[in-house]
């Protein structure tokens, strides 16, 4: 079965620091990749997604992620974090096989705390 690994469970950064959250998956075929964010007290929402094309994708609020197929990775980055980026971040993967429905697999999440 496929799996998604997020290596950092809890990250604490000062404002203006750069951020990189790791995400690796185990599936060998074509995948769609997502990062979701959950701000305190709010529901999960999409941050960015990759389907095909340019492996560097840009999302909302200055976030970007790079798909590196050879490394099975989809790391999330932001050059300069803000206090408002404090949230929990989830990486998610769905195989894009032709054979019927495939379910989304989530990583365990990374809690980001940004200190003013």
Partner 1 sequence: SAVISQKPSRDICQRGTSLTIQCQVDSQVTMMFWYRQQPGQSLTLIATANQGSEATYESGFVIDKFPISRPNLTFSTLTVSNMSPEDSSIYLCSVEDQSGELFFGEGSRLTVL
Q: What is the binding site for partner 1 (CB under 8 A)? A: 4, 32, 34, 36, 42-46, 49, 51, 90, 92, 94, 96, 101-104, 106-109
Residue 26 CB, shortest distance to partner 1, in Å, is 14
Nearest to partner 1 of 36, 63 (CB atom): 36
Nearest to partner 1 of 17, 86 (CB atom): 86
Residue 52 CB, shortest distance to partner 1, in Å, is 11
CA distance 82 to 99: 42
CA dihedral 4, 104, 26, 74 (to 10 degrees): -60
Nearest to partner 1 of 73, 102 (CB atom): 102
- Count of residues making up the chain: 116
Cβ neighbourhood burial of 71 (10 Å; 0-12, 13-18, 19+): exposed
Residue 3 CB, shortest distance to partner 1, in Å, is 10
Nearest to partner 1 of 34, 63 (CB atom): 34
Strand (E) positions, 24-78?
Answer: 24-25, 31-38, 45-50, 56-58, 64-68, 73-78
């Amino acid at each position: 079965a496929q799996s998604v690994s997020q290596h950092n469970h809890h990250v604490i950064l000062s404002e203006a620091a750069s951020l990189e959250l790791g995400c690796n998956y185990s599936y060998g075929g074509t995948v769609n990749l997502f990062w979701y964010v959950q701000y305190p007290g709010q529901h999960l929402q999409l941050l960015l997604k990759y389907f095909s094309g340019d492996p560097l994708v840009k999302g909302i609020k200055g976030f970007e992620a790079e798909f590196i197929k050879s490394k099975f990775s989809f790391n999330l980055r932001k050059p300069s974090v803000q206090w408002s980026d404090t949230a929990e971040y989830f990486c998610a993967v769905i195989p894009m096989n032709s054979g019927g429905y495939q379910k989304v697999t989530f990583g365990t999440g990374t809690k980001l705390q940004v200190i003013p």
